[in-house]
Structure formats: structure tokens, C-alpha cells
Structure 1
Amino acid sequence: MINLYNTHIASLSIHRAGNKSKNEPLVLSSQPYHMDDEITPLLKEFFLKPFREKEENYYQFVNEADLDFSEVYAAATAIFSDPETIHEESKKITKHLYDQSTHPHIKDGEVYIAYLENLQLDNVKVNAIGIFKSELKQDFLQFSEKENNVTAHLERGVNLNKLDKGCIIFDVNKEEGYKVLSVDSNRYDARYWLEGFLGVNALEDDNFRTKKYLKFCQDFAKDVVLPAEDKKEEVLFMNRAVNHFAKNDLFNESAFVNEVIDNPDLIPEFNQYKTEQGPKYKIEDLTSFPIANTAVTAARKKIKNVINLDTNIQIKLDFINPESADKFVEKGWDEEKQMYYYLIYFNKEQKT
């Protein structure tokens, strides 16, 4: 878990990288940017806000031959060894980004490279390197006053409410390729940023394993539980699965299967589905691991607990009290109407 609120920008270099295939220029500043009390808080919020709002999915640098051949990894290692080198290394990083900017969709933009201090990662204070890019420009009006007249001027600039791309490289796990967080609000060129420029893969930590296993369960519910049972049972299966993860610190697959799968006939189906689909989620050999609470919370928000009926009626089941659906919701078939129905029991309507 990260805490960025006390982060200090110790140094900042700003360059510009165009699209190389369009012969747009690469502009490297000769000196670091001079920080001031007015603009520094705005830039800090611009850089870090997306990471506070985004689910923590970590990456690590990889290279088939050797990590030292990864340009960004090598630059980060040099900076962490001697922070005074960050401006010269920032030029190498921006040049590397420019060399990857060959797809026609890639837009030119400002590249900001910052040395960050006083971050907290898993309750430990660490330093980090931030690499950020602003691409999309917006029109805005600037006003001036002269001789009792107000004049409007049209200008273009960066919207400080939206960072286009960014990553934070934490000074931990150097030998494994560091821990890296990344954000990208423009999906059309994601491979260019993560693969071409950064050269990272997903870090297979507890957060990764928890998220992948819950995604596997979600697809099992959709592909197996729903056809075998009904929508109610699909929702309840995922309800039980998420609650099992939420109340345990350590995942054990045998305990999970016994608690979550109500229908014994589906246990062989679950094992078979994992055998066939496990490699897709990278969980084929996974039977025990520490559970990451942040991943469980994020998964709970994404999982739908609503039954949508073709009669334009929705039934929302409570993820906090799943036993209510078992006790007070029944599904049946009406011979006269030739339609399914849900029978819902209650004592009184709740006021909202």
C-alpha cells in the first residue's frame, strides 16, 4: 500500500518528445526546472493524483538478456546510486521514449522526470523516480485589461486535472527489477508505454495473485455456475468467494472450495476449469498464498450483484449479507404464464 501525501519533489527536469516517425523534434532542457512555491504544489497534485485514485497494480522491469540492458532500469539504478545525476539521466530516458515514439497515434508532449522523496510503501519510507508525460492540450481563454477594456486571448495548454501517462519507480527490490506503478489514460497506445518504453511485466505479488484468482472465480461463475444453475447462484457464488477472501489472511484452495461451492457436483467442474483455464490467469499451480486486502476491496467494487430480468426489473442482492438471498429469494416456474418468477419474502419495506 502506498501513501503519497507527504511526497517531496526534490528535483524536476522537463523535456519534450515528439513523434519520431513524423520528424517532430526532441527537445532536451540544458538545466533542471527551477521549482517555486506557487507551481510546485500544482505539479505535485498533477503528477500524483492519478496514482492515489488507481488500483495498485505493480510492475517490474524485465529483459531477456540482462536487466542492465533495460534503458529505464539502468537509468533508475544510476539515479538511485547518485541522485545528482538525475538531470543527465533524464535526458537518456526522454531520448529512449522518443525512440519508441514511432506509431502514428503517439502524440508529442512534455516529459517530466522527478526525484521523489518521503513516499511510503507498505509503511516504509522510500525514495522514487517519477516519469510523467502530458500529451493532450486544451483551449482556454486568457484575459487582459487595458484602458478600461477587457480583452480575451485564446491559448492552448495542459489540463492539470488529467495526466496522460506516468510511472513511479520505487527504490526497492532492485535485483528483481524494482517495483513500478504505471497509469495511462490513453488506451490506444498502451503497449508503447508499458512494453516499448518502460519494458515492464506485471509483478506477480500477493496483490497480483489475489486479483487473478478472483478474476478466475468470476469467469468460472459466468461460464459454469450460470449455465448449470441460474443468475442468482452465479451472483451468490461470487458473493461467497469475495467474502471468503475478505475474512481470511491466507488463501487455502481446499478450504475455499469447501466453503464457497454449495453444489458438490460443481467441484469437479471447478477443478477441470482451473486445469484448462489456469494458465490464462497464471494460477495453474496456485493453491495457497497471502491475501491482499486492497485487491479484494477493488474486486468487490467491480463485481455486479444485480439480476437483470427481461421484464425491465432488477433485483439487487446484498454482498454484505448473502444469507438473505438464500433464505428469502426463491426461483420458480409458472405453468399458466409460462414464465420464470422470483418470490421474495420480507416483513416490511425499508425507508430510503
Structure 2
Amino acid sequence: MINLFNTQIESLSIHRIGNKSRNEGVFVSQSGFTLSDELVPLIKEYFFKPFREKEENYYQFAHDVDLEYHDMFKMVKAIFDNPSLAHEGSQKIAAHLYEQSNHPHIKNGELYVTYLTHLTIDNQPVDAIGIFKSEIKSEFLQIEEKEKNLDVILQMGINLNKLDKGCLIFNHKADEGYKILSIDSNRYDARYWLEHFLSVDAFQDENFLTKKYLKFCQDFAKEVVLPAEDKKEEVMFMNRSVNYFAKNDEFEESKFLNEVLENPDLIPEFKNYKVDRGQKYSIEDVTNFPIANAAVTDARRKMKNTINLDTNIQIKLDFINPDSAERFVEKGWDEEKQMYYYLIYFNKEQKT
């Protein structure tokens, strides 16, 4: 988890990056920009708001051979080692971004490189480097006095409510390539920002593993449990899975399987499915890991817990109280109507 509430912008450098394939060039500022007191809260909100609203999926710099050959890693490390050289480092980052801006679809724009202090990640105070890019210009009206009338002037500017691209590189886990958060609102070329410019891979921490394992379980439920059992059992399997993650601090696979798979015949099916599909989710060799509570909450919010019937009736099961569905919902077959039915027990209807 991150906390940006007390973050201070210690330095800010601004450069303009053109599209190299269109020979637009790059404008590199010779010195940093000094923020006025009026601009500070606006710029902080512009830079940081997307990260407060975004799910925390972390990345790390990665190189096939060694991080010492990774261009961005070296530039970032040099700034962390000597923050007084942040502007010089920003010029190198600008040149690097320009070299990657060689696809016709890539938009020109302003690059902002900031040195940040007083951030918190994983309950540790750290510094960070923020790299942001504005691309899309918005129209706005400027009203000016002209002699005895008011004149309306159409101008173009940056919409402070939408950051186009950005990343926060935390001075944390440096030996593993730092922990990095990234946003990209204009995904016209998904490879440009993450792959070509930053050159990062997913950071495989407990947050990553929790999300990936729950996604794996969700697909197993859909592709194996549903055909073998029924829709109710598919939902209940995910119900039990999410609640196992919610009530435990550590994941242990054998314990998990014994708790959530009521049909023992599905345990070897689960293991075979993991052998076949585990690599897709980066969990092929994972059997134990710390559970990230925030990731469980995010996953629970996204999971479907509704049984849709062909009679235009929906039954919604509660992921918070899975025992209720086990105890008070029964499925059967009506010989007279030649139809399946669900029998639901309750004491009284809830008034909403």
C-alpha cells in the first residue's frame, strides 16, 4: 500500500518530447522549474490523483542479463544516489523517451520529471521519482476585456483532471529493480510506455501472487467446476476460495484445496489444471505465499456471484457469508414439470 498524502515535490523538470518518426525534435530545458505556492496543490493533484484511484499493480525494471545494463534503471539509480543531479538525470530520461517515440501513432507532449520525498510504501518512508507525460490538449475559453467589451478567446491547454501517462518509481527494493506504479490513459500503443520506455515486468510480490492465484481459481471454476458440477457449485467454489484468502494471512495450497473443494475428485483436476495453465498466471511453482488483503478485496469486488436462470430469475449469493448459501439453498429436479429448481429457506424478507 502507498500513502501520498504528505508527498513533497523537491524538484520539477519539464521537457517537450516530439515524435521522432515525424522529425518533431525534442526541447530540453536547461534548468529546473520552480513551482509557485499556487501551482503546488494543482500539480500534486494532477500527478498523484490517478495513482490514488488506480489498483496497485506494481512493476520492476527488468533486463535479460543484468540490471546494470538497463538504461532507465541506471538513470534512476543515479538520481536516487544524488538527488541534486535530478535535473541532469531528467535530461537523459527525456532523450531516452524521445528515442522510443518513433512510432507514427505516438503523440508529442510535455515530460515532467520530479524528485519526491515523504512517500510511504509497505509502511516504509521512501523517496521516489515521478515521471509524467501530458499528450492530449483540451480546448478552453479565455475571457478578456477589450476596450468596452468582453472578448472570448479559444485556447488550447492541458486538462488537469486527466494525466495521460505517468509512473512513480519508489526507492524501495532497488536490488530487484525498484517498485514501480504506472498509469497510461491513452493506450494507443501499450508497448510504448511500459515495454519500450520503462522496460518493466510485473513485480511478483504478495499482491501480484494473490491476484494471479484468485484469477486462476476463477478460470478453474468456470472451465472445470461448472461443467463437472453446476452453476451453484461454481459460485460456491469461488465463494469458499475468496473466504479462505480473506481469513488467512498465509496461503498454503494443500490446506486451501482441502477446505474449498468439497468434491475430492476435483483435487487432481485442480492440480492437472495448474500444471497445464499455471505458467499463464505465473503460479506454476507457487504453493505458499503471504496473502495481500487489499488484493482479496479488489478480487471480491470484481467476481460475479449471480446465478442467471433461463426463466429470467437471478439468484445472488453472498461472498461475505458463504455458509448461508450452503445451508439455505438447495437444488433439485421436479419430475412433474421436468425442470430444475432452487429451494431457498429464510425467516423474513429484508426491507431495503
Decide whether aligned partners of structure 1 residues 152 and 338 sit closer, same or farther in structure 2, where only a CA change above 3 A counts. farther
- RMSD (Å), alpha carbons: 1.4
Contact 1:10 / 1:116 at 8 angstroms: preserved in 2? yes
2:317 partner amino acid: L
Contact 1:71 / 1:93 at 8 angstroms: preserved in 2? no
Contact 1:119 / 1:126 at 8 angstroms: preserved in 2? yes
Alpha-carbon separation, structure 2, partners of 1:188 and 1:349:
50
Q: Which residue number in structure 2 is paired with residue 21 of structure 1?
A: 21
Alpha-carbon separation, structure 1, partners of 2:271 and 2:263:
14
2:210 partner amino acid: T
1:206 partner amino acid: E
Q: Which residue number in structure 2 is paired with residue 110 of structure 1?
A: 110
Contact 1:172 / 1:179 at 8 angstroms: preserved in 2? yes
Q: Which residue number in structure 2 is paired with residue 100 of structure 1?
A: 100
Residue 255 of structure 2 corresponds to residue 267 of structure 1? no
Cα deviation per residue 1:88-114 (whole Å; 9 max; x = unaligned)?
111110111111112222111111000
Alpha-carbon separation, structure 1, partners of 2:100 and 2:347:
64
Alpha-carbon separation, structure 1, partners of 2:267 and 2:100:
48
Q: Which residue number in structure 2 is paired with residue 313 of structure 1?
A: 313
Alpha-carbon separation, structure 2, partners of 1:336 and 1:22:
74
* Deviation (angstroms), 1:345: 2.2
Query: Which secondary structure does the structure 2 equivalent of 1:5 belong to?
Result: coil
* Deviation (angstroms), 1:284: 1.4
Query: Which secondary structure does the structure 2 equivalent of 1:280 belong to?
Result: helix
Q: Which residue number in structure 1 is paired with residue 351 of structure 2?
A: 351
* Deviation (angstroms), 1:175: 2.0
Q: Which residue number in structure 1 is paired with residue 291 of structure 2?
A: 291
Q: Which residue number in structure 2 is paired with residue 206 of structure 1?
A: 206
* Deviation (angstroms), 1:273: 0.7
Residue 196 of structure 2 corresponds to residue 235 of structure 1? no
For normalisation by structure 1, the TM-score amounts to 0.96
1:15 partner amino acid: H
Alpha-carbon separation, structure 1, partners of 2:137 and 2:333:
58
Alpha-carbon separation, structure 1, partners of 2:108 and 2:339:
58
Alpha-carbon separation, structure 2, partners of 1:138 and 1:312:
45
Could you list the runs of 5+ residues in structure 2 that have no partner in the other structure? none
1:246 partner amino acid: A
Contact 1:59 / 1:181 at 8 angstroms: preserved in 2? yes
Alpha-carbon separation, structure 2, partners of 1:313 and 1:110:
53
* Deviation (angstroms), 1:148: 4.5
* Deviation (angstroms), 1:287: 1.1
Alpha-carbon separation, structure 2, partners of 1:142 and 1:173:
47
* Deviation (angstroms), 1:194: 0.8
Query: Which secondary structure does the structure 2 equivalent of 1:188 belong to?
Result: coil
Residue 186 of structure 2 corresponds to residue 186 of structure 1? yes
1:19 partner amino acid: N
Alpha-carbon separation, structure 2, partners of 1:266 and 1:340:
24
Alpha-carbon separation, structure 1, partners of 2:187 and 2:343:
44
Cα deviation per residue 1:301-339 (whole Å; 9 max; x = unaligned)?
111111223333322111111111122222233444444
Decide whether aligned partners of structure 1 residues 341 and 138 sit closer, same or farther in structure 2, where only a CA change above 3 A counts. farther
For normalisation by structure 2, the TM-score amounts to 0.96
* Deviation (angstroms), 1:149: 2.5
Contact 1:18 / 1:24 at 8 angstroms: preserved in 2? yes
Q: Which residue number in structure 1 is paired with residue 173 of structure 2?
A: 173
Alpha-carbon separation, structure 2, partners of 1:173 and 1:96:
23
Query: Which secondary structure does the structure 2 equivalent of 1:187 belong to?
Result: coil
Q: Which residue number in structure 2 is paired with residue 331 of structure 1?
A: 331
Alpha-carbon separation, structure 2, partners of 1:18 and 1:228:
56
Q: Which residue number in structure 2 is paired with residue 122 of structure 1?
A: 122
Residue 303 of structure 2 corresponds to residue 303 of structure 1? yes
Cα deviation per residue 1:107-157 (whole Å; 9 max; x = unaligned)?
111110000000011121110100011111211111123345232211111
Q: Which residue number in structure 2 is paired with residue 72 of structure 1?
A: 72
* Deviation (angstroms), 1:347: 2.2
Contact 1:106 / 1:189 at 8 angstroms: preserved in 2? yes
Alpha-carbon separation, structure 1, partners of 2:4 and 2:38:
20
Alpha-carbon separation, structure 1, partners of 2:55 and 2:181:
10
1:296 partner amino acid: V
Decide whether aligned partners of structure 1 residues 335 and 186 sit closer, same or farther in structure 2, where only a CA change above 3 A counts. farther
2:342 partner amino acid: Y
Could you list the runs of 5+ residues in structure 1 that have no partner in the other structure? none
Q: Which residue number in structure 2 is paired with residue 225 of structure 1?
A: 225
Query: Which secondary structure does the structure 2 equivalent of 1:268 belong to?
Result: helix
Between 198-207 and 302-311, the greater mean CA deviation after superposition: 302-311
Size of the aligned set, in residue pairs, is 352
Alpha-carbon separation, structure 2, partners of 1:72 and 1:51:
21
* Deviation (angstroms), 1:172: 1.8
Decide whether aligned partners of structure 1 residues 311 and 107 sit closer, same or farther in structure 2, where only a CA change above 3 A counts. farther
Query: Which secondary structure does the structure 1 equivalent of 2:119 belong to?
Result: strand
Contact 1:60 / 1:180 at 8 angstroms: preserved in 2? yes
1:18 partner amino acid: G
Alpha-carbon separation, structure 1, partners of 2:312 and 2:297:
30
Query: Which secondary structure does the structure 1 equivalent of 2:286 belong to?
Result: coil
Q: Which residue number in structure 2 is paired with residue 152 of structure 1?
A: 152
**Taking every aligned residue pair, what percent have the same amino acid on both sides?**
68
Q: Which residue number in structure 2 is paired with residue 253 of structure 1?
A: 253
Alpha-carbon separation, structure 2, partners of 1:308 and 1:24:
55
